[in-house]
């Protein structure tokens, strides 16, 4: 019996995943729908984190606070032990979430009207954030290899960079698809971005969720002399299921860029952090390793189960993700319209998955399924999926 076998009731807790489906999917009633969509886990966070938060709550005063020296050191140590990456603690800039970090980076380092490059399909804020800040999004689709894996098409990537792009937002590892970029790919991205003088904003929020012993490579770690063109956005929130705490940090080796980011923070009144952020981050990074080491094989087994079961449906194909807890399900061979498959899943299966086009047009023919839940829930999800295809 694993700690992750426990089922925790989340309905009626103001959970986006469990309680916002009615609005998100336009339903009259979502009370029987199983949510396997937005990226948070149904697991209890590590006990050490809950304990640290409880102790902090018992102090009963929640005034303005800042990140403790111990919390900052825990980031340095985490990067060192987990990713063999030595960072300088002075290079860290804090923020309220990784999406906010992306937005602040766009505002700080590009101007309205500038072009921002992304590799699609990709996490929706990658196109929404630059667009809503008045930047132009240039999309360079990933291309499919024979084995079904998606890779960067460097010819197209270079052509895109040559259109006077100012920044590239990298998703490392990639969501959706869970691709772990290898060193050669990352080095080529750095080389080309240097050639066209493009800033790299690297979202590495999924870095710690490596499946089957895969190794995450922070792009800044292999950037050599180009390190100053990289802003890395990270957080313990995806790793330890603390998304609602909303804490993130950017690793910004270039001092001038740090000052620019701090100026954007101040200008938008974001100078302060949630008082629970420091304690949660520190407890997760200093005491969360055993929990994480138990989590990863559990997720991997859930993925194996889903793949084995769903691939029994003719026309469904799954490439097991190398990272994250999100399965990218390929149903292109079924030749079904997205709205029809979503209708079947929601109405017959009573199952909420993410439609692929949420990640860009290149996601058409795919669904994203979140398997960060107990095996019992995964089994339920699989049954619901199959039921949707019985007729």
Ligand X SMILES: Cc1ncc(COP(=O)(O)O)c(C=O)c1O
Binding site for ligand X (CB under 6 A): 39, 97-99, 123, 171, 175, 203, 205, 235, 237, 243, 248
Residue 251 CB, shortest distance to ligand X, in Å, is: 15
Residue closer to ligand X (CB basis): 74 or 324:
324
- Shortest Cβ 203–ligand X spacing (Å): 5
Minimum separation from the CB atom of position 327 to ligand X (A): 14
Q: Do the bridges between strand 326-330 and strand 366-370 make them parallel or antiparallel, or are there none, so unpaired?
A: antiparallel
Shortest spacing between CB 296 and ligand X, in angstroms: 17
The answer to whether 370 and 326 are in contact (CB under 8 A) is yes
Least Å distance, CB 347 to ligand X, is 26
Which residue, 194 or 244, has its beta carbon nearer to ligand X?
Answer: 244
* Distance between CA atoms of residues 379 and 34, nearest Å: 11
Question: Closest CB to ligand X among 210 and 388?
Answer: 210
Beta bridge partner(s), residue 352: 35
Q: Are 166 and 114 in contact (CB under 8 A)?
A: yes
Q: Which residue is nearest to ligand X (CB)?
A: 97
Q: How far is the CB of 99 from ligand X (least distance, A)?
A: 3
Q: Tokens standing for 130?
A: 């630059």
Task: Using DSSP, state whether 347 is helix, strand or coil.
Answer: helix
Contact at 8 Å (CB) between 210 and 180? yes
Question: How far is CA 26 from each of CA 161, 347, 350, rounded to the nearest angstrom?
Answer: 38, 12, 13
Cβ nearer to ligand X, comparing 243 with 342: 243
Nearest CB to ligand X, comparing residues 99 and 230: 99
State the Cα–Cα distance between residues 58 and 242, nearest whole angstrom.
19
Minimum CB distance to ligand X smaller for 43 or for 389: 43
Q: In terms of CB distance, is 192 or 242 closer to ligand X?
A: 242
Torsion angle of the four alpha carbons 28, 32, 33, 34, in this order, in degrees rounded to the nearest 10: 160
The helix-helix angle for 98-109 and 255-267 (nearest 10°) equals 110
Q: Please check whether residue 129 is in contact with residue 103, taking contact to mean a CB–CB distance below 8 angstroms.
A: yes
In angstroms, give the least distance from the CB of 291 to ligand X.
19
Cβ atoms within 10 Å of 236's Cβ, excluding its own: 29
Q: Own/partner pairs for 354-359, CB < 8 Å, 24+ apart?
A: 354/37, 354/38, 354/176, 356/121, 356/176, 356/328, 358/124, 359/120, 359/121, 359/122, 359/123, 359/124, 359/176
Q: How far is the CB of 344 from ligand X (least distance, A)?
A: 25
Identify which of residues 79 and 237 has a Cβ nearer to ligand X in the complex.
237
């Amino acid at each position: 019996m694993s700690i992750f076998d426990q089922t925790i009731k989340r309905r009626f807790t103001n959970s986006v995943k469990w309680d916002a489906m009615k609005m998100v999917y336009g339903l009259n009633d979502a009370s029987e729908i199983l949510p396997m969509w937005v990226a948070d886990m149904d697991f209890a966070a590590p006990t050490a984190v809950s304990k640290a938060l409880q102790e902090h709550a018992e102090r009963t005063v929640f005034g303005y606070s800042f990140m403790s020296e111990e919390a900052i050191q825990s980031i340095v140590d985490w990067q060192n032990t987990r990713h063999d990456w030595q960072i300088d603690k002075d290079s860290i800039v804090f923020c309220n979430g990784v999406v906010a970090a992306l937005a602040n980076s766009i505002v700080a380092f590009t101007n309205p009207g500038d072009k921002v490059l992304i590799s699609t399909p990709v996490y929706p804020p990658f196109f929404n954030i630059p667009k809503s800040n008045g930047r132009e999004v240039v999309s360079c689709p990933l291309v499919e290899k024979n084995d079904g894996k998606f890779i960067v098409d460097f010819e197209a990537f270079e052509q895109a960079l040559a259109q006077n792009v100012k920044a590239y937002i990298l998703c490392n590892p990639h969501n959706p698809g869970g691709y772990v970029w290898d060193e050669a790919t990352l080095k080529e991205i750095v080389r080309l971005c240097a050639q066209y003088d493009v800033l790299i904003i690297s979202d590495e929020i999924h870095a710690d969720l490596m499946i089957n012993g895969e190794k995450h490579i922070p792009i800044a770690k292999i950037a050599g002399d180009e390190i100053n063109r990289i802003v890395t956005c990270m957080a313990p929130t995806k790793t330890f299921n603390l998304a609602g705490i909303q804490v993130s940090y950017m690793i910004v080796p270039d001092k001038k860029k740090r000052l620019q980011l701090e100026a954007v923070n101040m200008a938008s009144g974001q100078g302060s952090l949630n008082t629970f952020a420091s304690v949660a981050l520190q407890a997760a990074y200093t005491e969360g390793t055993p929990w994480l080491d138990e989590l990863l094989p559990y997720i991997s087994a859930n993925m194996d189960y889903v793949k084995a079961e769903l691939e029994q449906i003719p026309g469904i194909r799954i490439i097991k993700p190398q990272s994250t807890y999100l399965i990218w399900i390929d149903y292109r061979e079924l030749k079904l319209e997205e709205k029809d498959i979503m209708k079947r899943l929601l109405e017959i299966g009573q199952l909420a998955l993410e439609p692929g086009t949420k990640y860009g047009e290149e996601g058409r023919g795919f669904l994203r399924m979140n398997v960060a839940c107990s095996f019992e829930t995964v089994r339920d999800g699989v049954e619901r999926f199959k039921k949707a295809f019985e007729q």
